[in-house]
């Protein structure tokens, strides 16, 4: 069957609803449920179950609520985190393990930073996050918790601890070439200092990689309660 020369010259009209033929539709298709819509403003990072933007603060736990919450894993604390991608990954880690993540200011980024969306954050993820204005606020709000500091200066391995759901696993700021704030990591509020083993003369692991190893070891000791 011969093709009409006029139709061949003009080609088939593009279908604006087909992502394969319309670049804008293709981009919009990428931002489905659980992710930030492409036309949202920079402060509209978190979405509810219907994909509608909500306040980051409204989605978070208060320190009082976090202290009263019953958990199946220890709490995780990032003191003054500086890389939004690491915190985004930690939020997802805590969501899937039932862990509460405490972020202690000052932060090195705004919680509305668009880089956090790479972790696919939504309301249910942020419901595991608490923001503290300073470290004293964390200690005062969790008086019955044992703080276990993860630091390269420790001699005890992280596997030498019997973890409890009320523990707080404390990690200092990244990147690794910045010294730990020793008033925080060695203060009187710290019950134990532990480290992850590494080959000598190599840089530290990524912050959230370390936190993942620690959380899953603690959860394993607690028989993966609440998991499946």
Determine the angle formed by the axes of helices 207-221 and 84-97, rounding to 10 degrees: 10
103 is in an annotated binding site: no
- The SS3 assignment for 25 reads helix
Q: Computed from CA positions of residues 60, 91, 99, 195, in that sequence, does the dihedral angle turn out positive or negative?
A: negative
Interior angle at CA 173, CA 98 and CA 144, nearest 5: 50
Output the CA–CA distances (angstroms, integers) from residue 197 to 64, 90, 128, in the order listed. 35, 21, 28
Residue 180 token pair: 């730990």
CB atoms within 10 A of CB 162: 8
Is 196 annotated as belonging to a binding site? Answer: yes
Q: Is 204 annotated as a binding residue?
A: yes
Residue 107 φ then ψ, to 5°: -90, 155
| Number of Cβ atoms within 10 Å of the Cβ of 170 | 25
Binding annotation:
172, 196, 204
Binding annotation for S-adenosyl-L-methionine:
172, 196, 204
């Amino acid at each position: 069957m011969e093709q009409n020369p006029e139709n061949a010259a003009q080609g088939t009209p593009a279908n604006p609803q087909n992502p394969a033929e319309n670049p804008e539709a293709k981009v919009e298709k990428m931002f489905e449920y659980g992710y930030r819509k492409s036309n949202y403003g920079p402060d509209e990072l978190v979405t509810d179950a219907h994909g509608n933007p909500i306040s980051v603060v409204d989605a978070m736990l208060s320190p009082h609520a976090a202290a009263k919450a019953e958990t199946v894993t220890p709490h995780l604390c990032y003191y003054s985190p500086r890389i939004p991608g690491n915190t985004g990954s930690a939020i997802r880690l805590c969501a899937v393990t039932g862990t509460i993540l405490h972020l202690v200011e000052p932060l090195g980024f705004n919680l509305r930073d668009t880089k956090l969306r790479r972790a696919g954050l939504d309301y249910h993820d942020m419901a595991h996050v608490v923001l503290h204005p300073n470290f004293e606020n964390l200690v005062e709000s969790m008086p019955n918790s044992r703080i276990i500091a993860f630091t390269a200066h420790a001699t005890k391995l992280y596997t030498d601890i019997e973890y409890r759901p009320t523990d707080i696993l404390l990690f200092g700021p990244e990147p690794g070439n910045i010294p730990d704030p020793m008033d925080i990591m060695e203060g009187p509020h710290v019950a134990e200092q532990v480290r992850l083993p590494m080959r000598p003369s190599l840089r530290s692991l990524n912050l959230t990689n370390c936190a993942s190893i620690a959380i899953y070891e603690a959860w394993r000791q607690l028989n993966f309660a609440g998991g499946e």
